[in-house]
Amino acid sequence: MREQFITLDELRSEMRLKDIEHLSEVENAYVEPSGELSFFRKEKQD
């Protein structure tokens, strides 16, 4: 497995494209083989 480096600005830009406003909403983020970022949101607790 290879390490991937991404700037915080790049991360935030990708989050905005996926309608995620705050990093605190993200449980996990992955760099896909295509180079795209995938985000998994935290479960909302009522």
Cβ–Cβ under 8 Å, residues 41 and 20: yes
Q: Is residue 2 part of a domain?
A: no
Closest CA to 37 of 2, 13, 22, 1: 13
Q: Specify the pLDDT at position 6.
A: 85
Q: Specify the pLDDT at position 5.
A: 82
Q: Specify the pLDDT at position 4.
A: 67
Distance between alpha carbon 6 and the CA centroid of its chain, in Å? 11
Q: Is residue 25 part of a domain?
A: yes
Question: 5 or 21, which is more confident?
Answer: 21
Q: Is residue 24 part of a domain?
A: yes
Question: Is 0.95 surpassed by the pTM of this model?
Answer: no
**pLDDT of 1 above 60:** no
Count of structural domains within the chain: 1
Q: Is residue 46 part of a domain?
A: no
Q: Is residue 16 part of a domain?
A: yes
Tell me which residue range forms the domain holding 30: 8-41
Backbone angles phi, psi at 10, to 5 degrees: -65, -40
